[in-house]
Chains A and B, each alone.
Chain A
Amino acid sequence: MKTNYLHRLTRLHKFQLVLKLGIYFILICISFIYLEPIFKMISMSFMSYKDVIDPSVEWLPKKPSFNNLMVAGTVLDLKTTLVNSIWYSAVLAIGQTIVSAMTGFALSRYTFRFKKIWIMMIILAFIIPIPLLMIPRLMLFISAQNMLGFNLIGTPIPQLVMALFGQGVNSTILVLIFYNFFNLIPYSLDEAAMIDGAGPMKVFTQIALRLSASTVLVIFLFSFVWNWNETYVTGTLVRNSIELLPTKLNMFDSAFASFASAGRGTAQFRINEAYKMSATLISITPLLILYAFVQKQFIQGIENTGITGE
């Protein structure tokens, strides 16, 4: 009787072990599917043009070279576009961070009238597709620039204004992250400050923001990344006046054609996969580096949205 029981126990353990191994196997295989495009980009970036058309070359190039990356970097005009993209996204991200902190603070700390309706509106703002809003927005800014007498279209101003008024990329998610984080800060801290004579603004800056420095950073980074990757609104409002890395990648084919015709028209300079993939790799590298350092905060940031809690 006793041995039978033991026997069963070990069988159960064996089953559990096999199950675990199976889970690991599936998860690791799937993680390769996730990374496959990136691996492909990396492998293609180092291929020479002969390797690209050689059917025997699948992953590892026979003659690795940096040529593709150099050419793609020149076509993308990397020095200017990289700097432009960084400051552009950073400016918008600062704007978004400030306004989403304020909105999150209002929702978390005050019970004002129609609060439920405003929360619904915040969620609705996420669902409405952007193209529906872009045409009147564009007309608004064109009219405004006619009235003001200086250019708005083609400058970062329209997007900065929208970011500062909480209508930037994925603002809803940022507001929800702040809202949930501020909810974790005990209200008694606010009360203590108010008894010592602090006004609402002081409570906001000295208590809420001070205690949520890490959240502020997460929001800033999310906003930075999303603004970096955003091309529809930027393409409509800025067009080509400021050369940004993703926008440039969008028209890589035509940029490459003009580059090739200006230079040597040899077979090497025909557009091919390797150049495109190198350009794509270059454009995501800054984000990959960023992610390598702060990946934990990113994931925690999404966990803190708390939309799963209620």
Chain B
Amino acid sequence: MSRKKTTSYQQRQNKQGYLFMMPWIIGFAIFTAIPFIATIYLSFTEVRQTVIGFEFKWIGLDNYIMAFFQNVEFIPAVLAFLGMIIPYTFVVVILSFILAYLLNRITFLRGLLRTIYFLPVIIMSGPVMYQLLDSNSITNNAESLREFSEIFLVQMIYTYSPQFARILVGIFEQLSIILWFTGIPIILYINGLQKINPSLFEAAQIDSANSWQILWKIVIPIIKPIVLVVTIFTIANIGTFSINPVYDLIRTATENTSGGLGIASTFAWIYSLLVLLIIGAAFLIFRNREKGRRHY
């Protein structure tokens, strides 16, 4: 009893706070922080499973040489992944903003539409997406490619840059799948849009700004921090989503516990570095502008 009295308020706060945080901190250390570092180490070793446990042999950069120069599947898979994540993120971030902005301007049917847009978050899983993409590619691929290539605009773009035209056609082909990633971003945007002080709009209207000017001069600057959150969220969401070509490679290498764990961690490490780099780039792009805004 007497000891309890001598502990200060801050000490009690520390003690009780850490008491509640403890499970999470232990879990983070064991299942996230240590594995994070261990994977870096593992990517330089050859791992063998023996009867007593695991045996590690330091082999230097061999795994990396193998991944980049000897394995014929890895580089194409990474490129396919990059070709997916960058345009997808772009489309998701912009489309979900447009949808949220439009949804914010109506009242009738709003709940229903929002429910529909959010639905994919609930049902979206790797296998479901796999089946849908698979069925799309079998039935429609040949057809839709022809359909799209007949559009004048696509042909025009194709003459300038075939690569870009292909990405564009890819986006339109899988539009409903890409749209399925917009569920949570739309909600985040709507939430942000509703927090904008309405008197700002009034002030702008009094100064005879039209709604286009209001959108660009008021709404978008205010919403920019949320764009950052949405961008990072979308990259993390698509990047950790199990429908991507690199995952399959990592998984097959992981299943080979007798000798494949080293190379699997090399794949995983290169892949994650890419995702983290993209997130970092997004962060830098949006942070700079935000800093400038904070001056006033």
Interface set of A (CB-CB < 8 Å, partner B):
20, 23-24, 26-28, 30-31, 33-38, 40, 99, 102-103, 105-107, 109-113, 115, 118, 121-122, 125-140, 142-143, 146, 162, 164-167, 175, 200, 204, 225, 228-232, 235-236, 246-247, 249-250, 252, 273, 276-277, 279-280, 283-284, 287-288, 290-291, 295-296, 298-299, 302-303, 305, 307-309
Q: A133-B36, A232-B126 are in contact. Are A165 and B23 (CB under 8 A)?
A: yes
Task: Evaluate contact between A165 and B30: CB separation under 8 angstroms.
Answer: yes
Please pick, from B54, B122, B127, B130, the residue contacting A298 in the complex, using a CB distance under 8 A. B122
Among candidates A118, A129, A164, A229, residue contacting B240 with C-beta atoms closer than 8 Å:
A129
Q: Using CB atoms, name the residue of chain A closest to B236.
A: A127
B191 within 8 A of A: yes
The CA-CA distance from A24 to B103 in the complex, in Å, is 9
Q: Interface stretch among B64-72, B163-171, B247-255?
A: B247-255
Given contact pairs A102-B23, A230-B125, a sample of 20 additional A-B residue pairs in the complex whose CB atoms are under 8 Å apart: A27-B109, A28-B113, A30-B99, A33-B175, A33-B176, A107-B21, A110-B17, A122-B24, A127-B279, A132-B271, A135-B42, A137-B35, A165-B24, A165-B26, A252-B127, A277-B135, A279-B131, A298-B122, A299-B114, A309-B195
Measured in the bound complex, the distance between the Cα atoms of B75 and A33 in whole Å is 33
Determine if B294 is an interface residue (Cβ-Cβ < 8 Å): no
A288 to B120 CA separation, bound complex (whole angstroms): 10
Q: Is the interface of B mostly helix, strand, loop or mixed?
A: helix
Stretch at the interface among B147-155, B200-208, B261-269, B285-293: B261-269
Inter-chain contact B20/A105, CB cutoff 8 Å: yes
| Contact status B135-A118, CB under 8 Å | no
Specify which chain B residues have a CB less than 8 angstroms from the CB of A113 in the assembled complex: 14
Contact A132 B131 (CB under 8 A): no
Within the complex, which residue of B13, B116, B191 is in contact with A34, where a contact is CB–CB below 8 Å?
B116
Contacts of A232 in B (CB 8 A): 126, 242, 247, 251
Asked, given contacts A30-B179, A279-B131, A309-B195, whether A229 binds B125 with beta carbons under 8 Å apart, the answer is: yes
Q: How far is the CB of A283 from chain B (nearest CB, A)?
A: 7
CB within 8 A of A287: which of B27, B122, B134? B122
Complex CA distance for A103 and B26, rounded to whole angstroms: 12
Q: Is B124 in contact with A229, judged by CB distance below 8 angstroms?
A: yes
Question: Are B20 and A106 in contact (CB-based, < 8 A)?
Answer: yes
Q: Which of A99, A109, A146, A165 has the most CB of B within 10 A?
A: A165
Q: A277-B135, A307-B188 are in contact. Are A26 and B102 (CB under 8 A)?
A: yes
Docked complex Cα distance between A284 and B128 (Å): 8
Known contacts A113-B14, A143-B53, A165-B26; is A34 also within 8 Å of B242 by CB?
no
A247 to B251, CA, bound (A): 14
- B14 engages A112 (CB within 8 Å): yes
Whether B187 and A299, one on each chain, are in contact in the complex, defined by CB atoms closer than 8 angstroms, is: yes
